[in-house]
Structure 1
Amino acid sequence: MRLPNNFPTICYHHHPPSYYFFYFYYSHKLLSPPPFSPFPSTKLAAARRTSFTAAAASRRHRRVDFCLHHEQQQQQQKVVVIMGATGSGKSKLSIDLATRFFATEIVNSDKMQVYCGLDITTNKIPMRDRRGVPHHLLGDVRHPDTLAPADFRRLAASAISGIASRHKLPLVVGGSNSFIYALAVKHFDPESDVFRDSDPDPVSTQLRYDCCFIWVDVAMPVLDQYLCKRVDEMLDSGMVDELGDYFGSDPGPSRGGLGKAIGVPEFEAYFRKFGGGSSRGGDGVGGGTKEWKGDDPVRRAVYEEAVRAIKDNTCQLSMRQVGKIERLRRAGWHLQRLDATAAFEAAMAGGATAAIWERQVMEPSVKIVKRFLAERCKGRWQFWPMKWLAGEDD
């Protein structure tokens, strides 16, 4: 019997490949034993046929397009985590993986993007760029208080369970390492702080999930240059109009939750002095960056100071995020680093970036995830679609 070319050899455990092929096929399609024997005519083969028929009758719900992985006794759900500094391309990579290779759903782990509102200021991925990939905890939280890591752990775990029940791969994506740590560790203490600057608590290496950590990294000078450019693009896209509505809302802006997003405290002095609301300044100015600056030198100076602070604080945030990732790696977390610097340098120079991104980020990521899915998990029997392992596109 000739097996399909894409039948993964990782399925071979205690039996030849033909055993698994017929096992899947007849447990899914037929109610009776195979019309001919896939095994040699021996006493051992006869015993196998008997066992094969009984197993097929009791497992008719198993589908032929799933590859069986034998695991150990305690289950661990497989989860892919894409981490990195703000602006490093995490969202792009997650959408590329989800739409081109793997059936996934994405769980956001950015502590500002979990809140509803300020989509431009928090740089949420637009709906058109999500390309139909389901996202969880992206703009879902509406209460004004700060979402604690323990609360995120509970909400994200629920989302992951739902994704797994639909036989899809959970993909956790975001730059908030305190959220990623709270979600991933087996025993999380809400009172602990492993990222504290002075005398931090020990980092746990016992994880509740079987995790594949992909770290998208960009050289800091290049990333800083890109982040400043991105702030200018956000301003041109209506960020100040959005903040004007936020500060002009009734009741006033919260100092917790979304009120901590970069852009809100920086522009607070501007809107306190010149007003805001309904995308218009207190003196009727509104509708664009030039209009928000105005002709008044004082107004322009306050505006430019706010923009300068946003750029500085964004670059400082990226540096802190990389420091936290390095701490996790030094503690023993297996983080697989991908260097996207060349793609960002090409983007800043106005050159073609697609080929560089494909070669240096996309292709290595696909190999990492395929190898991760092909590994035996630490749990019960688990099923993964064969095309994920064989490299077939959707």
Structure 2
Amino acid sequence: MTKPAGGANVPPASSASGAPEVIAVVGATATGKSAISIGIAEHLIARGTPAEIINGDAMQFYRGMDIGSAKLPIADRRGIVHHLLDTLDVSQDATVAQFQDQARAAIDGIHARGGRAIVVGGSGLYLRALLDKFEFPPTDPEVRAKFETRAAVEGPGVLYRELLAVDPEAASKIQPQNAKRIARALEVIEITGEKFSSSLPVKEYAIPAVQVGLRVPYDVLDERIDARVDQMWADGLVDEVRRLEEQGIRGAITARRAVGYAETLSHLEGELTERQAIDLIAQHTRRLARKQHRWFGPDDRVNWVDGPVDPDDVPRAVGDAIRAAGL
């Protein structure tokens, strides 16, 4: 698509329903999603279409979790409006249902202003719940509390084996240590009598969208992750976690388990040396990156492009992403 002569405004690309397509920039951590989303937004704005970015990274919802979540500093957002950053205290629980409501409302607002929404993040379930048809199953606080208490007392491994026996498909999509999601799956099974996997999102857009996925070779990604973790430590991750301790992160359900924060808390408790904590954060981040790629990889709706291998490669990657999005 070429720019019209005279710099005339370009209307947002629309789906058959008439709604502008949401642009989703997805992929593993450290693949350059933030830089690419900024580049896409600036491209749209230069062509006369307002563009705003919606955060889809669950850990960046939390106020004060800046360094460890690689949250883009305000100065680096280059004046682009960002939504759903710093919306929760660390003591609050991030939920997919809440994100779905808030993100869809943000999209409606952007469309009402004549703009284009760009969603960026690597939290796969959150992105699927936003873009795809996903109705949330019922909940029962007493049943949920029962399973969460058992997980705390018996360990999540016991409950995971129970889930594996009754719903292996759901179990295959949940980490064995994720007590929160295991408890939720068993809660739904007990309440409904149906498998939790039957309530997972289907690959059918509820919101017109185009997805652009960023991929970077694992050897490059691993080196980048190691350097990023070293920089986070040098930038003051330990002091950031100390401040978050005062705000209740140790008693939090979700925030205290985040990669980077869980290991730093262990370091502050004396369980890990500084070097051990840094190495463990890098190891867990590499594992997370592979998990995220496995989540998005099988989705044939994702248009994959090579992410930037270094800062000088960002313009090339932005151009590839713009073409992949059909802009």
> Same fold by TM-score, threshold 0.5 exceeded?
yes
Determine if the alignment matches structure 1 residue 214 to structure 2 residue 212.
Answer: yes
1:96 CA drift (Å): 1.2
Find the aligned partners of 1:176 and 1:214 in 2 and give their Cα distance: 14
Letter of the 1:133 counterpart: I
Judge conservation of contact 2:31–2:221 (CA < 8 Å) in 1: yes
Greater Cα radius of gyration, structure 1 or 2? 1
Q: 1:154 aligns with which of 80, 101, 126?
A: 101
Q: Distance in 2 between the 1:70 and 1:99 partners?
A: 19
Task: State which drifts further: 249-258 or 181-190.
Answer: 249-258
Q: Residue in 2 aligned with 1:115?
A: 62
- Seen in structure 2, the aligned counterparts of structure 1 residues 71 and 135 have a Cα distance that, compared at 3 Å, is closer
> Partner residue of 1:144?
91
CA deviation after TM superposition for structure 1 residue 65, in Å: 4.4
Structure 2 counterpart of 1:357: 314
Report the count of equivalent residues.
270
Q: Tell me the distance in 1 between the aligned counterparts of 2:12 and 2:275.
A: 59
Q: What per-residue deviation string (whole Å, max 9, x for no partner) do you get for residues 221-276 of structure 1?
A: 210111011000111111111112223x1656333232222122212232224xxx
Tell me the C-alpha RMSD between the 2 structures: 3.0
> Equivalent residues in 2 for 1:143-292 (5 A)?
144-190=91-137, 196=173, 204-247=202-245, 249=246, 251=248, 253-273=250-270
Instruction: Supply the distance in 1 between the matched residues of 2:111 and 2:27 (Cα, whole angstroms).
Output: 24
Q: Are the structure 2 counterparts of residues 302 and 195 from structure 1 closer, same or farther at C-alpha, using a change threshold of 3 Å?
A: same
User: Out of 304, 323, 326, which is 1:367 matched to?
Assistant: 323
Does the 8 Å contact 1:76/1:208 carry over to 2? no
User: Could you tell me whether the CA contact under 8 Å between 1:150 and 1:190 is conserved in 2?
Assistant: no
Measure how far apart 1:193 and its partner are: 5.3
Structure 1 residues 76 and 267 mapped into 2: Cα distance closer, same or farther (>3 Å)? same
Correspondence for 1:337: 304
C-alpha displacement of 1:94: 0.8
Q: Residue 307 and residue 69 in structure 1: after superposition, are their counterparts in 2 closer, same or farther (change >3 A)?
A: closer
What is the CA distance between 1:166 and its match in structure 2? 0.8
Q: 1:91 aligns with which of 34, 40, 43?
A: 34
Tell me which of 309, 313, 322 is aligned to 2:293.
322
Q: Is this contact kept in 1: 2:100–2:126, CA < 8 A?
A: yes
Shift of 1:149: 1.0
Shift of the 236–252 alpha-carbon distance from structure 1 to 2, 3 Å rule, reads closer
Any stretches of 5+ residues in structure 2 without a counterpart? 139-168, 176-194
| TM-score (norm: length of structure 1) | 0.62
Runs (5+) with no aligned partner, structure 1: 8-63, 274-298, 348-352, 373-394
Contact kept? 1:195, 1:324, Cα under 8 Å: no
Identity of paired residues, percent?
26
Q: CA deviation at 1:215?
A: 0.2
Of Structure 1 and Structure 2, the greater helix share is in 2
**Cα shift readout 1:185-243 (whole Å, capped 9, x = no counterpart):** 12333579597159955751221111110001111121011101100011111111111
The TM-score, its normalising length taken from structure 2, stands at 0.74
Give the secondary-structure state (helix, strand or coil) at the position aligned to 1:83: strand
